[in-house]
Chain A
């Protein structure tokens, strides 16, 4: 069974630009969550999507947004990038036909803002 796939693995962007990250969950999983990991703040929850609806949101500014498609694939977007947005962005999928399962994480997208 394929795991959670995140693309791209690495990105370098300039301040002020925007970026879109992609996440393909495990087949059959309908919940996708996003986390940001930085050396200073550790792992922090961004938001969670289920059946194309955002169900939960962390304490991040509105520059951070996401969406989920009908095939459960998800994207997150960060607009007007700041240096502090440099981080490892992790996507996790959970939930199969039997209900909630533990979350399985992808390898992450490392974003560097210069």
Chain B
């Protein structure tokens, strides 16, 4: 069963920040949150991941609440090429063997 809940769709104006929320209220203490996106049924593309602290890379920022029950992916300046399905994923398993539990994702549409 999916461990994450995301809104099915969102729109964002080009150039504005896209804030994609995710609920993971049943996440365990050692389970990481990962974000991937998928464009036109290509393979999912890794964006960012985190455990407790907020994270930032060249693509996005990840804000995780203190209780770890939810997180937000931020694309600071959305472009048309960011239109995709965004998956918030919990990585489950023990050291050495992991699997991703995918939810249904958020279809983000960036509008010109």
Contact = CB atoms under 8 A, between A and B. Distances in A.
Contacts of B99: 33, 45, 48, 56, 58
B96 A107 contact: no
Given A102-B46, A105-B45, A45 B100 contact: yes
Interface size class of A (residues with CB under 8 A): 20 to 34
B86 interface: no
B contact patch SS:
strand
Given A102-B34, A102-B46, A88 B101 contact: no
A104 B42 CA distance: 12
Interface in A58-114: 58, 88, 90, 92, 94, 100, 102-108, 110
The prevalent SS among residues of A at the interface is strand
Interface of A: 4, 31, 33, 35, 37, 42-45, 48, 50, 55-56, 58, 88, 90, 92, 94, 100, 102-108, 110
Given A50-B96, A90-B44, A100-B96, 10 more contacts: A33-B99, A43-B102, A45-B99, A90-B43, A92-B43, A102-B34, A102-B49, A105-B36, A107-B42, A108-B42
